[in-house]
Structures are given as C-alpha cells and as structure tokens.
Amino acid sequence: MQSANMKFAIDDGSTNVKISWIEKGLVRSVTSPNSFRKDWKSAALLSDRKVFNYQIGATKYTYDATSDKALSTTHVAFQYDDLNLLSVHHALLQTGVQPGPVSILVTLPITEYYKADDCQKNEENIARKKANLMRDISLNKGELFEIVDVEVLPESLPAVLTTLMDSGVNEFTKSLVIDCGGTTLDMGVIVGEFDDVSAVYGNAEIGVSMVTNAARKALAAADSDASYLVANELIKRRQDRNFVNEVINDLSKVDWVLERIEDKISELGAAVAYEAKTFTRNPNRIYLVGGGAMLIETAIRAAYPTLGDKIVLVQEPQEALSREICCYHAAEPAEAV
C-alpha cells in the first residue's frame, strides 16, 4: 500500500493521458491512450492480457483499443465526464504502482482554466474538474487507486520550464508556447525565464482531432472502420507501409487514405500558424509542445522563417507537461529518465 503523500502528475488530454511520478528519485512517465466503449467484454481464451471492465453508477464501460464503437473524447466536455474519470484511473493502473491512496495533479485547457473576459481562474470549472475525479468508480475483478486529493493546473506553459531555463534567454526575450493537443490549441507568451506570462490564448475548435476524424472517415470509406486510437496510430505511423497495409482493408485506397490524412495535417498546420500570427506577430522564440507538435512543426517553421533554430520542438512533446509538473511539484530534486 502506497503512502497517501504519493503524487502523480497527470496531463489528462482527450486523446491520451500522460502521467509522471517519482520512483526511487527518478521521474517515470507513461502515456495511456483513451479508448473506451460501453458495456463489458470477456477475456480472450488464449491470452493473459488483463481486461479492464469499469462501472460508474449504473453504467458499465470497458477499455477497447480497436472497437469502432469507442466513445468520442475529443470535445471539451470530456474534462468533466465519465470518460475523463475512466481515463485517469486507467492511466494510474498502467504505471505498475501498487494501488493505494494518492494525490493527483491534473490539467485543464487554457480556455477552461481561465475566464475569457479577464484572464482570471475559472473557479467553477476547476471545482467541476475536482468533483468529477473524486466520484466513485469500480473495476471488476480488480483494485483501483483511491484519489484523496485533486489539484488542477493550466495546460501548456509549464511544459517548457526546463527547456526555457536551459536556453540562455534574457529578461526581455518573448517566447511563444504553442500546445497543439487532441481537442484544443493553447498558446501563451512567456517573458524571460518565466518572469512574466504576458498573454494566453486558447481555441477549442483546433486540434489533432481534425486529422483523426478525417482519418476515421477515410478508413470507413476503405472498408476499415476503426477506433480513434487506431486512427491516431495510423497518423503517427503513416510512413510505415507494412502497418498501413494491415490497417487498411481496401488496398486500392491506401494512397487515397494517406492523401486525405496529409491534406488534413496541412490544414491543421495552416490553422495553427494563422492563429499564432494573429495572437502574437513577432516572438523571439517558439516552443512546440503537445501531441500534435510534430504535425504542425513544418507549418510553423514556414510561418516564421527568420527564427531558424529558435523554433524548438520540445523533447518528447506529448509527455513534456506531465514531466515538468512532476519535477516542479516533487519534494526533492529528481533526475528525468
């Protein structure tokens, strides 16, 4: 049984939950994809893989990586519903840590964490998020972690803390952080080494889900109905022809499906670049974080050609936020691995 003082830093995004924790002085991290459907499933006869059947109230859910009936999580309401509660508990179980009472630090998109009119904390949304994650949930034939405390932080900006500190910026440097996630685009302008946050911006209509939805539609047209998880995996591994041919049943439409994906990636990049230029015209540096960072990198470099290597794709951009939150809130210095 773990101490109630143990903390997990959780970037509970709509597509994946990124979770980090301190173990033997080191920062450990796990990325847990979200793919849940209603009702339970039974274990495969020839497999020892664990089945995760959950229940919240009277509703039964199961983790199902490939089902085309997987429930959509790519909407802001995800932050306060059953699927968010499921995804956080499921991610905790992927850490390999013995379940027990824990404190968790979770995140909200900038558009949800701050009020649009005065940039102050949206205490109502923060309270909703906490209350949602304190609800009862059970795992059939299994033990869950007991969440005893929830702290809510804003997304995006903390993800670049270490990278920014190591960049040698001065007190006048204006750094733009672009976080392209599954559902939302968050941006912020940091002055110096986090001396000040001069502006924040969020758009809940722009995210990797634009590409995911296009990929699922194209797959369906190629007789290959797929879950959101499989569609996202195809996007990541679209250069791997063997994987592509396994996922797409109608091989005559392979190139067509890949073209649809590339077109949507270009559209996403153009949309993010436009929003960035509108938000702040001439930053000194740009840092790209989030699950969509690699998809938009080319477009951002094209939009800011004079910045060159001052445009930085943060190392392991999808896990960056949870790792930085973990390090920042750790009781003692920890070495990331």
Q: Hey, what domains does the chain have and what are their CATH numbers?
A: 7-155+319-336 (3.30.420.40), 158-207+269-313 (3.30.420.40), 210-264 (no CATH)
User: What pLDDT digit, counting tens, does each position of 141-175 carry?
Assistant: 999 999 999 999 988 888 888 888 888 888 889 99
Q: Give which of 41, 43, 294, 83 is closest to 181, Cα–Cα.
A: 294
Q: How confident is the model at residue 5 (pLDDT cuts 50, 70, 90)?
A: low
User: What pLDDT digit, counting tens, does each position of 26-81 carry?
Assistant: 999 999 999 999 999 987 655 567 899 999 999 999 999 988 888 988 788 899 99
The answer to whether the beta carbons of residues 155 and 321 sit under 8 Å apart is yes
User: What pLDDT digit, counting tens, does each position of 69-124 carry?
Assistant: 889 887 888 999 999 999 999 999 999 999 999 999 999 988 788 887 777 889 99
CB-count burial class (<10 Å; 0-12, 13-18, 19+) for 113? buried
* Percent of all residues in the chain with a pLDDT value above 70, rounded to a whole number: 94
21 Cβ contact partners less than 8 Å away, ≥ 6 residues apart: 6, 7, 8, 9, 27, 28, 95, 97, 326
Q: What is the pLDDT of residue 334?
A: 44
**Residue 88 burial (CB count, 10 A):** 24
The answer to whether the beta carbons of residues 320 and 156 sit under 8 Å apart is no
Query: What are the tokens at 325?
Result: 């939150």
Mean pLDDT of 303-322: 93
Judge whether residue 331 has pLDDT over 70. no
**Residue 218 burial (CB count, 10 A):** 23
Least confident of 75-89, 116-130, 227-241, 277-291: 116-130
Average pLDDT of the chain is: 90
- Buried-exposed string 93-112: b where 16+ CB fall within 10 A, e elsewhere: bebebebeebbbbbbbbbbb
Query: What's phi and psi for 144, nearest 5 deg?
Result: -110, 165
Angle subtended at Cα 13 by Cα 9 and Cα 18, rounded to the nearest 5 degrees: 40
Judge whether residue 179 has pLDDT over 90. yes
Mean pLDDT of 224-241: 94
Helix (H, G, I), strand (E, B) or coil at 287: strand
